Amino acid sequence: MFCMAAQSMGYRVCVLDPVADGPAGAVAERQIVAAYDDPAALGELGALCAAVTTEFENVPAPSLQLLTQHCLVRPPADAVAVAQDRIAEKRFVLSCGIDVVPHAVVAKHSDAQSIDSTLFPAILKTAHLGYDGKGQSEVRERGELVAAWQQLRSVHCVLEKKLTLRRELSIIIARGADGTKEYFPVVENAHRRGILAVSMIPAQLDADQAKRARAIAAQIADALQYVGVLCVELFEGDDGHLLVNEIAPRPHNSGHATIEACASSQFVQQVRALAGMPLGDTSLLSPAIMLNLLGDLWFGDDGAPQTPAFERVLAVPGACLHLYGKRDARPGRKMGHVTVLGHSLAIAHQRACRVADVLSLEQPQPLAPDNSQRALQ
Ligand code: ADP
Ligand code: MG
Protein backbone atom coordinates (compact mmCIF):
# COMPACT_ATOMS: atom_id res chain seq x y z
CA MET A 1 0.00 0.00 0.00
CA PHE A 2 2.97 2.30 0.62
CA CYS A 3 4.41 1.41 -2.81
CA MET A 4 1.12 2.23 -4.49
CA ALA A 5 0.89 5.58 -2.71
CA ALA A 6 4.49 6.45 -3.70
CA GLN A 7 3.92 5.42 -7.30
CA SER A 8 0.72 7.45 -7.51
CA MET A 9 2.85 10.49 -6.69
CA GLY A 10 5.38 9.69 -9.42
CA TYR A 11 8.09 7.98 -7.34
CA ARG A 12 9.68 4.70 -8.26
CA VAL A 13 10.13 2.18 -5.50
CA CYS A 14 12.70 -0.49 -4.76
CA VAL A 15 11.82 -3.06 -2.11
CA LEU A 16 14.32 -5.03 -0.05
CA ASP A 17 12.64 -8.21 1.14
CA PRO A 18 14.07 -11.63 1.96
CA VAL A 19 10.99 -13.19 0.33
CA ALA A 20 10.92 -13.17 -3.48
CA ASP A 21 7.16 -13.14 -4.04
CA GLY A 22 6.01 -10.79 -1.28
CA PRO A 23 3.20 -8.27 -1.84
CA ALA A 24 5.39 -5.15 -1.90
CA GLY A 25 7.94 -6.66 -4.28
CA ALA A 26 5.15 -7.50 -6.72
CA VAL A 27 4.11 -3.84 -6.87
CA ALA A 28 7.53 -2.13 -6.77
CA GLU A 29 9.63 -1.29 -9.86
CA ARG A 30 12.63 -3.10 -8.39
CA GLN A 31 13.20 -5.71 -5.76
CA ILE A 32 16.33 -6.83 -3.99
CA VAL A 33 15.85 -10.28 -2.49
CA ALA A 34 18.18 -10.42 0.51
CA ALA A 35 18.23 -10.55 4.28
CA TYR A 36 17.46 -7.28 6.09
CA ASP A 37 21.00 -7.21 7.44
CA ASP A 38 22.87 -8.12 4.23
CA PRO A 39 25.52 -5.34 3.91
CA ALA A 40 25.90 -5.66 0.13
CA ALA A 41 22.14 -5.51 -0.40
CA LEU A 42 21.81 -2.51 1.93
CA GLY A 43 24.61 -0.78 0.02
CA GLU A 44 22.83 -1.45 -3.27
CA LEU A 45 19.52 -0.16 -1.88
CA GLY A 46 21.16 2.95 -0.42
CA ALA A 47 22.93 3.75 -3.69
CA LEU A 48 19.71 3.38 -5.68
CA CYS A 49 17.34 5.30 -3.44
CA ALA A 50 17.00 8.94 -2.45
CA ALA A 51 15.18 7.94 0.73
CA VAL A 52 14.37 4.72 2.58
CA THR A 53 11.62 3.80 5.01
CA THR A 54 10.40 0.60 6.62
CA GLU A 55 6.98 -0.99 6.46
CA PHE A 56 7.92 -3.73 8.83
CA GLU A 57 8.89 -3.18 12.40
CA ASN A 58 11.49 -5.89 12.69
CA VAL A 59 13.96 -4.57 10.15
CA PRO A 60 17.06 -4.39 12.38
CA ALA A 61 17.72 -0.83 13.54
CA PRO A 62 21.47 -1.20 12.69
CA SER A 63 20.47 -1.79 9.03
CA LEU A 64 18.61 1.52 9.04
CA GLN A 65 21.61 3.14 10.69
CA LEU A 66 23.88 1.77 7.97
CA LEU A 67 21.59 3.16 5.27
CA THR A 68 21.95 6.67 6.68
CA GLN A 69 25.47 6.69 5.15
CA HIS A 70 23.83 6.59 1.72
CA CYS A 71 20.47 8.32 1.83
CA LEU A 72 17.67 9.79 3.95
CA VAL A 73 16.22 7.26 6.37
CA ARG A 74 12.83 7.94 7.95
CA PRO A 75 11.78 7.08 10.62
CA PRO A 76 15.14 7.40 12.41
CA ALA A 77 16.90 4.16 13.36
CA ASP A 78 16.96 5.17 17.05
CA ALA A 79 13.18 5.52 17.14
CA VAL A 80 12.72 2.13 15.48
CA ALA A 81 15.16 0.60 17.99
CA VAL A 82 12.98 1.83 20.88
CA ALA A 83 9.82 0.38 19.34
CA GLN A 84 11.55 -2.96 18.70
CA ASP A 85 12.20 -3.58 22.37
CA ARG A 86 9.20 -3.66 24.71
CA ILE A 87 11.46 -2.99 27.71
CA ALA A 88 13.09 0.10 26.16
CA GLU A 89 9.72 1.19 24.78
CA LYS A 90 8.03 1.18 28.18
CA ARG A 91 10.99 2.90 29.80
CA PHE A 92 10.91 5.57 27.10
CA VAL A 93 7.15 6.20 27.34
CA LEU A 94 7.42 6.49 31.13
CA SER A 95 10.30 8.94 30.70
CA CYS A 96 7.87 11.14 28.72
CA GLY A 97 5.61 11.19 31.79
CA ILE A 98 3.01 8.98 30.10
CA ASP A 99 1.53 5.91 31.77
CA VAL A 100 2.05 2.36 30.54
CA VAL A 101 0.55 -0.93 31.69
CA PRO A 102 1.93 -2.02 35.10
CA HIS A 103 4.69 -4.49 34.30
CA ALA A 104 7.97 -6.08 35.32
CA VAL A 105 10.96 -7.33 33.35
CA VAL A 106 11.59 -11.07 33.29
CA ALA A 107 15.17 -11.64 32.16
CA LYS A 108 16.40 -14.36 34.50
CA HIS A 109 15.08 -17.21 36.61
CA SER A 110 15.15 -15.35 39.91
CA ASP A 111 12.97 -12.55 38.49
CA ALA A 112 9.99 -14.88 38.74
CA GLN A 113 10.21 -14.87 42.55
CA SER A 114 10.54 -11.13 43.07
CA ILE A 115 7.60 -10.04 40.92
CA ASP A 116 4.88 -8.04 42.61
CA SER A 117 1.83 -10.28 43.16
CA THR A 118 -0.54 -7.50 42.10
CA LEU A 119 0.58 -8.05 38.46
CA PHE A 120 -1.31 -11.37 38.27
CA PRO A 121 -3.27 -12.42 36.26
CA ALA A 122 -0.81 -11.24 33.64
CA ILE A 123 0.42 -11.55 30.07
CA LEU A 124 4.04 -12.48 29.43
CA LYS A 125 5.40 -10.91 26.22
CA THR A 126 8.77 -11.36 24.56
CA ALA A 127 10.69 -8.08 24.50
CA HIS A 128 11.54 -8.53 20.81
CA LEU A 129 9.89 -9.73 17.60
CA GLY A 130 6.28 -10.21 18.78
CA TYR A 131 3.33 -9.27 16.57
CA ASP A 132 -0.33 -10.21 16.18
CA GLY A 133 -0.28 -11.67 19.68
CA LYS A 134 2.67 -13.95 18.83
CA GLY A 135 5.35 -14.26 21.50
CA GLN A 136 2.76 -13.86 24.27
CA SER A 137 1.42 -16.16 26.90
CA GLU A 138 -1.22 -15.69 29.61
CA VAL A 139 0.01 -16.30 33.13
CA ARG A 140 -2.76 -16.55 35.70
CA GLU A 141 -0.54 -16.80 38.78
CA ARG A 142 3.07 -16.80 39.86
CA GLY A 143 3.24 -20.60 39.80
CA GLU A 144 2.74 -20.60 36.01
CA LEU A 145 5.38 -18.01 35.25
CA VAL A 146 8.55 -20.07 34.92
CA ALA A 147 6.94 -22.62 32.60
CA ALA A 148 5.47 -19.84 30.43
CA TRP A 149 8.84 -18.08 30.29
CA GLN A 150 10.61 -21.30 29.32
CA GLN A 151 8.01 -21.85 26.62
CA LEU A 152 9.02 -18.44 25.21
CA ARG A 153 12.58 -19.83 25.15
CA SER A 154 13.64 -17.89 28.25
CA VAL A 155 14.31 -14.72 26.22
CA HIS A 156 13.97 -11.27 27.76
CA CYS A 157 10.28 -10.63 28.45
CA VAL A 158 7.93 -8.22 30.11
CA LEU A 159 5.17 -9.44 32.36
CA GLU A 160 2.17 -7.11 32.09
CA LYS A 161 -0.83 -6.98 34.32
CA LYS A 162 -3.85 -8.16 32.34
CA LEU A 163 -6.16 -5.18 32.41
CA THR A 164 -9.90 -4.94 32.01
CA LEU A 165 -10.20 -2.52 29.14
CA ARG A 166 -13.09 -0.26 28.34
CA ARG A 167 -11.75 0.16 24.84
CA GLU A 168 -8.67 -0.08 22.71
CA LEU A 169 -7.80 3.02 20.72
CA SER A 170 -5.02 4.02 18.37
CA ILE A 171 -3.80 7.36 17.20
CA ILE A 172 -1.73 7.77 14.07
CA ILE A 173 0.43 10.85 13.82
CA ALA A 174 2.75 12.08 11.09
CA ARG A 175 5.67 14.30 11.94
CA GLY A 176 7.71 16.16 9.35
CA ALA A 177 11.45 16.87 9.55
CA ASP A 178 10.62 20.43 10.66
CA GLY A 179 8.55 19.14 13.58
CA THR A 180 5.16 19.82 11.94
CA LYS A 181 2.55 17.33 13.10
CA GLU A 182 -0.70 16.04 11.60
CA TYR A 183 -3.06 13.66 13.40
CA PHE A 184 -5.50 11.20 11.92
CA PRO A 185 -8.81 10.85 13.74
CA VAL A 186 -8.53 8.50 16.73
CA VAL A 187 -9.48 4.91 15.84
CA GLU A 188 -11.34 2.42 18.03
CA ASN A 189 -10.09 -1.17 17.72
CA ALA A 190 -11.29 -4.64 18.59
CA HIS A 191 -8.84 -7.52 18.78
CA ARG A 192 -9.64 -11.23 18.70
CA ARG A 193 -7.07 -13.69 19.99
CA GLY A 194 -4.45 -10.91 20.06
CA ILE A 195 -5.00 -9.98 16.38
CA LEU A 196 -6.69 -6.79 15.21
CA ALA A 197 -10.16 -7.69 13.90
CA VAL A 198 -12.11 -4.43 13.56
CA SER A 199 -11.17 -0.74 13.43
CA MET A 200 -13.70 2.05 13.57
CA ILE A 201 -12.86 5.58 12.42
CA PRO A 202 -13.62 7.91 14.08
CA ALA A 203 -13.61 6.41 17.57
CA GLN A 204 -16.68 7.32 19.61
CA LEU A 205 -14.89 9.71 21.92
CA ASP A 206 -15.60 13.03 23.48
CA ALA A 207 -13.39 15.90 22.36
CA ASP A 208 -11.32 15.90 25.57
CA GLN A 209 -10.38 12.25 25.28
CA ALA A 210 -9.38 12.71 21.63
CA LYS A 211 -7.29 15.70 22.68
CA ARG A 212 -5.55 13.62 25.34
CA ALA A 213 -4.75 10.93 22.75
CA ARG A 214 -3.28 13.53 20.40
CA ALA A 215 -1.19 15.04 23.20
CA ILE A 216 0.27 11.61 24.03
CA ALA A 217 1.15 10.97 20.37
CA ALA A 218 2.71 14.44 20.01
CA GLN A 219 4.84 14.06 23.08
CA ILE A 220 6.16 10.66 21.98
CA ALA A 221 6.82 11.76 18.39
CA ASP A 222 8.65 14.91 19.54
CA ALA A 223 10.71 13.08 22.15
CA LEU A 224 11.80 10.53 19.51
CA GLN A 225 12.53 13.34 17.03
CA TYR A 226 10.40 11.20 14.82
CA VAL A 227 9.97 11.79 11.10
CA GLY A 228 7.25 9.83 9.33
CA VAL A 229 4.08 8.01 10.35
CA LEU A 230 3.84 6.65 13.89
CA CYS A 231 1.01 4.74 15.54
CA VAL A 232 0.44 4.79 19.29
CA GLU A 233 -1.74 1.94 20.58
CA LEU A 234 -3.72 3.03 23.63
CA PHE A 235 -5.64 1.17 26.29
CA GLU A 236 -8.58 2.98 27.85
CA GLY A 237 -9.09 1.69 31.37
CA ASP A 238 -12.46 1.25 33.06
CA ASP A 239 -12.08 4.73 34.56
CA GLY A 240 -11.34 6.30 31.14
CA HIS A 241 -7.64 6.72 31.88
CA LEU A 242 -5.38 6.32 28.81
CA LEU A 243 -2.29 4.10 28.90
CA VAL A 244 0.15 3.44 26.11
CA ASN A 245 0.20 -0.23 25.09
CA GLU A 246 2.89 0.00 22.42
CA ILE A 247 4.09 2.16 19.56
CA ALA A 248 4.52 1.15 15.92
CA PRO A 249 7.04 3.13 13.88
CA ARG A 250 5.16 2.82 10.57
CA PRO A 251 1.73 2.97 8.98
CA HIS A 252 -0.45 0.67 11.04
CA ASN A 253 -3.18 -1.87 10.38
CA SER A 254 -5.63 0.24 12.40
CA GLY A 255 -5.06 3.07 9.89
CA HIS A 256 -5.84 1.16 6.71
CA ALA A 257 -9.30 2.73 6.48
CA THR A 258 -7.62 6.12 5.99
CA ILE A 259 -7.12 5.07 2.34
CA GLU A 260 -10.80 5.76 1.64
CA ALA A 261 -11.91 7.56 4.79
CA CYS A 262 -9.44 10.48 4.94
CA ALA A 263 -8.30 13.20 2.57
CA SER A 264 -4.74 11.79 2.72
CA SER A 265 -4.13 8.17 3.68
CA GLN A 266 -1.50 7.11 6.20
CA PHE A 267 0.54 5.78 3.25
CA VAL A 268 0.39 9.05 1.33
CA GLN A 269 1.43 10.73 4.56
CA GLN A 270 4.44 8.44 4.88
CA VAL A 271 5.47 9.22 1.30
CA ARG A 272 5.14 12.95 1.95
CA ALA A 273 7.17 12.77 5.16
CA LEU A 274 9.84 10.64 3.49
CA ALA A 275 10.10 12.92 0.47
CA GLY A 276 10.19 16.10 2.56
CA MET A 277 6.89 17.28 1.08
CA PRO A 278 4.28 19.12 3.16
CA LEU A 279 2.16 16.72 5.21
CA GLY A 280 -1.32 16.03 3.85
CA ASP A 281 -4.76 16.86 5.17
CA THR A 282 -5.91 14.13 7.56
CA SER A 283 -9.57 15.23 7.69
CA LEU A 284 -12.19 12.53 7.78
CA LEU A 285 -14.17 12.33 4.53
CA SER A 286 -16.39 9.51 5.67
CA PRO A 287 -16.82 7.37 8.77
CA ALA A 288 -15.64 3.82 8.10
CA ILE A 289 -15.29 0.40 9.63
CA MET A 290 -12.45 -1.89 8.64
CA LEU A 291 -12.62 -5.65 8.94
CA ASN A 292 -9.40 -7.64 8.70
CA LEU A 293 -9.42 -10.71 6.46
CA LEU A 294 -7.37 -13.50 8.01
CA GLY A 295 -6.29 -16.66 6.24
CA ASP A 296 -8.92 -18.64 8.19
CA LEU A 297 -11.51 -17.38 5.67
CA TRP A 298 -9.87 -19.43 2.93
CA PHE A 299 -10.82 -22.67 4.69
CA GLY A 300 -14.29 -24.10 5.23
CA ASP A 301 -15.54 -25.65 8.47
CA ASP A 302 -14.26 -29.02 7.26
CA GLY A 303 -10.79 -27.52 6.62
CA ALA A 304 -11.18 -27.70 2.83
CA PRO A 305 -9.81 -24.73 0.84
CA GLN A 306 -12.44 -22.23 -0.29
CA THR A 307 -12.61 -18.78 -1.85
CA PRO A 308 -14.42 -16.24 0.34
CA ALA A 309 -17.61 -14.86 -1.24
CA PHE A 310 -16.10 -11.55 -2.31
CA GLU A 311 -18.83 -10.97 -4.91
CA ARG A 312 -21.32 -10.83 -2.03
CA VAL A 313 -19.01 -8.56 -0.01
CA LEU A 314 -18.73 -6.13 -2.88
CA ALA A 315 -22.50 -6.12 -3.32
CA VAL A 316 -22.70 -4.29 0.03
CA PRO A 317 -22.72 -0.52 -0.62
CA GLY A 318 -19.60 1.26 0.60
CA ALA A 319 -17.52 -1.93 0.79
CA CYS A 320 -13.95 -1.59 -0.54
CA LEU A 321 -11.88 -4.77 -0.85
CA HIS A 322 -8.11 -4.90 -0.42
CA LEU A 323 -6.29 -8.18 -0.97
CA TYR A 324 -2.54 -8.13 -0.53
CA GLY A 325 -1.66 -10.87 -3.00
CA LYS A 326 -0.12 -13.18 -0.43
CA ARG A 327 0.24 -16.57 -2.03
CA ASP A 328 -0.49 -18.84 0.93
CA ALA A 329 -3.49 -18.41 3.18
CA ARG A 330 -2.77 -19.60 6.70
CA PRO A 331 -4.97 -19.33 9.79
CA GLY A 332 -4.23 -16.02 11.58
CA ARG A 333 -2.32 -14.58 8.59
CA LYS A 334 -3.49 -11.15 7.41
CA MET A 335 -4.50 -11.59 3.78
CA GLY A 336 -6.38 -8.32 3.23
CA HIS A 337 -9.08 -6.10 4.65
CA VAL A 338 -12.47 -4.66 3.79
CA THR A 339 -13.20 -1.01 4.52
CA VAL A 340 -16.89 -0.18 4.70
CA LEU A 341 -17.86 3.47 4.28
CA GLY A 342 -21.10 5.15 5.30
CA HIS A 343 -22.37 8.70 5.58
CA SER A 344 -22.66 8.11 9.33
CA LEU A 345 -20.95 5.67 11.65
CA ALA A 346 -24.34 3.99 12.10
CA ILE A 347 -24.62 3.31 8.37
CA ALA A 348 -21.02 2.14 8.09
CA HIS A 349 -21.68 -0.16 11.06
CA GLN A 350 -24.86 -1.59 9.60
CA ARG A 351 -23.05 -2.31 6.33
CA ALA A 352 -20.01 -3.76 8.09
CA CYS A 353 -22.35 -6.14 9.96
CA ARG A 354 -23.64 -7.36 6.58
CA VAL A 355 -20.08 -7.93 5.34
CA ALA A 356 -19.26 -9.79 8.55
CA ASP A 357 -22.37 -11.94 7.99
CA VAL A 358 -21.36 -12.80 4.43
CA LEU A 359 -17.88 -13.85 5.55
CA SER A 360 -19.06 -15.51 8.81
CA LEU A 361 -16.88 -13.11 10.79
CA GLU A 362 -17.77 -12.09 14.31
CA GLN A 363 -19.92 -8.97 14.28
CA PRO A 364 -18.20 -5.62 14.92
CA GLN A 365 -18.57 -4.28 18.46
CA PRO A 366 -21.94 -2.53 18.95
CA LEU A 367 -21.99 1.25 18.69
CA ALA A 368 -22.51 3.47 21.70
CA PRO A 369 -26.25 4.05 22.21
CA ASP A 370 -26.24 7.68 21.02
CA ASN A 371 -24.59 6.64 17.74
CA SER A 372 -26.71 3.58 17.06
CA GLN A 373 -29.93 5.51 17.73
CA ARG A 374 -28.96 8.24 15.29
CA ALA A 375 -31.09 8.05 12.14
CA LEU A 376 -29.69 5.51 9.71
CA GLN A 377 -29.92 7.87 6.76
P1 ADP B 1 1.23 -7.15 19.41
O2 ADP B 1 2.64 -6.70 19.26
O3 ADP B 1 1.02 -8.58 19.07
O4 ADP B 1 0.23 -6.21 18.78
P5 ADP B 1 0.12 -6.21 21.94
O6 ADP B 1 0.92 -5.99 23.16
O7 ADP B 1 -0.41 -5.01 21.25
O8 ADP B 1 1.01 -7.11 20.97
O9 ADP B 1 -1.09 -7.19 22.31
C10 ADP B 1 -2.06 -7.58 21.38
C11 ADP B 1 -3.45 -7.43 22.00
O12 ADP B 1 -3.58 -8.25 23.18
C13 ADP B 1 -3.77 -6.04 22.47
O14 ADP B 1 -4.20 -5.20 21.42
C15 ADP B 1 -4.88 -6.32 23.49
O16 ADP B 1 -6.10 -6.65 22.84
C17 ADP B 1 -4.37 -7.59 24.17
N18 ADP B 1 -3.52 -7.21 25.32
C19 ADP B 1 -2.17 -7.05 25.28
N20 ADP B 1 -1.70 -6.70 26.49
C21 ADP B 1 -2.75 -6.61 27.32
C22 ADP B 1 -2.91 -6.28 28.71
N23 ADP B 1 -1.85 -5.99 29.48
N24 ADP B 1 -4.16 -6.30 29.24
C25 ADP B 1 -5.24 -6.61 28.47
N26 ADP B 1 -5.16 -6.93 27.16
C27 ADP B 1 -3.93 -6.93 26.57
MG1 MG C 1 -0.30 -4.28 19.34
Q: How far is the CA of 339 from the centre of ligand 1 (A)?
A: 23
- Residue 377 pLDDT more than 70? no
- Residue 372 pLDDT more than 80? no
Q: How far is the CA of 172 from the centre of ligand 1 (A)?
A: 17
Longest dimension (CA), the chain: 61
**Site residues for ligand 1, CB cut-off 6 Å:** 101, 123, 125, 130-133, 160-163, 165, 168, 191, 194, 233, 245-246
> Contact, 231 vs 175, CB < 8 A?
no
Q: Whose CA is nearest to atom 22 of ligand 1?
A: 162
- Residue 374 pLDDT more than 80? no
Other Cβ atoms less than 10 A from the Cβ of 207: the count is 7
Q: How far is the CA of 283 from the centre of ligand 1 (A)?
A: 28
Pocket test for ligand 1, best of 86, 125, 136 (most atoms within 8 A of CB): 136
Question: CA 322, 248, 169, 228 torsion: positive or negative?
Answer: negative
Residues 6+ apart with CB under 8 A from 279: 174, 176, 180, 181, 182, 264, 269, 272, 273
Q: How far is the CA of 194 from the centre of ligand 1 (A)?
A: 6
Q: Convert the pLDDT of each residue in 47-73 to its tens digit.
A: 999 999 999 888 999 999 999 999 999
- pTM for the structure as a whole: 0.95
Buried b (16+ CB within 10 A) or exposed e, 92-116: bbeeeebebbebbbbeeeebbeebe
Residues 6+ apart with CB under 8 A from 108: none
Q: How far is the CA of 246 from the centre of ligand 2 (A)?
A: 6
- Residue 286 pLDDT more than 50? yes
Pocket test for ligand 1, best of 87, 134, 191 (most atoms within 8 A of CB): 191
Confidence band of 112 (pLDDT split at 50, 70, 90):
confident
Q: Convert the pLDDT of each residue in 138-170 to its tens digit.
A: 999 999 999 999 999 999 999 999 999 999 999
- Residue 252 pLDDT more than 50? yes
β 103-106/187-192 pair status: unpaired
Pocket test for ligand 1, best of 99, 123, 238 (most atoms within 8 A of CB): 123
- Residue 287 pLDDT more than 90? yes
Confidence band of 336 (pLDDT split at 50, 70, 90):
very high
Q: Convert the pLDDT of each residue in 194-240 to its tens digit.
A: 999 999 999 999 999 999 999 999 999 999 999 999 999 999 998 99
